Amino acid sequence: MKTVEMLKVAKEVLQNSYSPYSKVRVAAVMVGEDGSITGVNIENASYGLTVCAERVAVFKAVSEGKKNFYKMLIYSPDVMPYPCGACRQVLSEFFPEDFEIIVTDGREEESFTLGELLPYNFKL
């Protein structure tokens, strides 16, 4: 799936974001051999229980037995949605250092490998 198609999917699922506290809506789309899967951020009044879009997508994939993905697009029309440290660590648990991460607000776009975003990940 091309980046432009991933962005279209992200914009479609963004309406499912539950972000009444931060007002920052985020959608993530992963693609790979196992097809595509999406996630949106889901906030909670107890902020520590909030889950980012990236982790929602990864957890959905893993819970469905899918782990063969090679890239993720993270989109927010509200900010440049760079993945937080927790998301970077979760991604490193399931994907290799060359996993591509595209970050966009719909106007600007940046691309990184997971290894660039988390060069010293924690692995057992």
Mind telling me the catalytic residues?
54
Quick one: which of 78, 73, 107, 83 has its CA closest to 3? 73
Q: CB neighbours of 68 closer than 8 A, spacing ≥ 6?
A: 32, 33, 34
User: What letters, b where the CB count within 10 A reaches 16 and e where it falls short, cover 48-61?
Assistant: eebbbbbbbbbeeb
